[in-house]
Amino acid sequence: MITVIGSMNMDLVTITNREPAIGETVLGENFLTVPGGKGANQAVAAAKLGAPVKMIGCVGDDLFGEQYINHLKGHQIDIKHIRRLKNEKTGIASITVWNNDNKIIVVPGANKRITPEIVESHREEILKSSWLLLQFEIPLESVERALEIAAEGNVNVIVNPAPYHDIPEKWLGKITYITPNEAEANQLFSAFANRENLLSKLVITKGKDGAEYFDQGERVSIPALKVDAIDTTGAGDTFTGALAVALSEGLPLKESCQFAVKAAGLSVTKLGAQAGMPSRSDLNK
Ligand code: RIB
């Protein structure tokens, strides 16, 4: 079982050919409201590839919350551990897509109310997992509690450090892999005194340049799939979800990265964070 503790956002996506300057109004091309959030994106990526997935997190008691839970159910994700919080809003992300790239502002809403106590109340679920996926769209003290519980049961953990925050050195021993993008990896390098220890945990996503990790200090590059990118939102989440699936099936790191790079490559060929995430048969084509 892959367990994700993390965010669920409704993504409010505007597609434009040109970004407005400050104080300027431009006409956009399209608008869509679609499920997103780094936590749920990773959960859906893994579930679409056929893994059993459990989502732990919070939504509000608004329409977005109800829609989100139904959406995850539709992907056969275990939603028993998602709380609907009274008088709270579901998280949203305001996303502008232009030029095959994006800018994102997240308003966390219910996601910021995933407390360490809520995480603690799911101790048994965490300990039953083979892999646990964590990101930084929930409070850091809750991420820390999840890591402590996982470490007690030797549960494998992937931390996706986004949005960026330094990773305390004391966390490193409890993490199996860290999946930053290039900018986040550079920030991590500057923050760490003991880079050797960090290096062995890193699997860096590099967009159209694929991914890389370090084998005993030697850089291993995994080339990207050649695709026409339409929307790169959620590509890193697809990578992390797919990486967990491959590792949970016992593939070595190199093959797992190849699997994840392919999944992430396919994911950018459709609009919306989750729409392009491949199924197992898409991946095997
Ligand atoms: O990683 C992409 C995600 O970041 C979007 O789906 C958005 O919700 C933000 O959390």
Confidence of residue 117 (pLDDT cuts 50, 70, 90): very high
Going by C-alpha positions, the residue among 114, 118, 126, 117 that lies closest to residue 152 is: 126
C-alpha 99: how far from its chain's center?
22
- Interhelix angle 253-267/235-248, nearest 10 degrees: 140
Name the token pair of 52.
């059993």
CA-CA distance, 266 to 12, in Å (whole number)? 22
Q: How far apart are CA 38 and CA 163, in angstroms?
A: 9
- Rounded to an integer, the average pLDDT of 64-72 is 98
Query: Distance, CA 163 to ligand 1 centroid (Å)?
Result: 9
Task: Check whether 252 has a pLDDT greater than 90.
Answer: yes
User: What is the 8-class DSSP label of residue 172?
Assistant: G
Whole-number pLDDT of residue 251: 98
In order of their start, the domains of the chain are 2-7+36-90+109-284 (3.40.1190.20)
- Residues in Cβ contact with 233 at an 8 Å cutoff, skipping those fewer than 6 apart: 11, 13, 36, 95, 97, 102, 104, 272, 273
Give the active site residues.
237
Whole-angstrom distance, CA of residue 196 vs CA of residue 64: 43
Per-residue pLDDT band for 194 (boundaries 50, 70, 90) equals: confident
The lowest-confidence range among 3-7, 51-55, 101-105, 160-164 is 101-105
Nearest CA to ligand 1 atom 1: 234
Burial of 179 (0-12, 13-18, 19+ CB in 10 A): buried
Cα of 178 to ligand 1 centre, how many Å?
Answer: 18
Q: Is 89 annotated as a binding residue?
A: no
Q: Within 13 A of 80's CA, how many CA atoms are on the CB side?
A: 7
pLDDT tier at 49, thresholds 50, 70, 90: very high
Q: What is the pLDDT of residue 209?
A: 96
Q: Whose CA is nearest to atom 10 of ligand 1?
A: 37
pLDDT at 100 exceeding the cut of 80? no
Summarize pLDDT for 124-163 with one digit per residue, the tens: 999 999 999 999 999 999 999 999 999 999 999 999 999 9
Q: Contact at 8 Å (CB) between 269 and 278?
A: no
- Segment 76-97 mean pLDDT: 97
CA angle 263, 164, 265 (to 5 degrees): 15
Q: Which atom of ligand 1 is nearest to the CA of 36?
A: 6
- Contact by Cβ (8 Å): 88, 109: yes
| pLDDT value for 256 | 98
Q: Which two tokens stand for residue 47?
A: 């579930």
10 is in an annotated binding site: yes
Interhelix angle 38-48/235-248, rounded to 10 degrees, is 50
| Band (111; pLDDT cuts 50, 70, 90) | very high
Percent above pLDDT 90 for the chain? 94
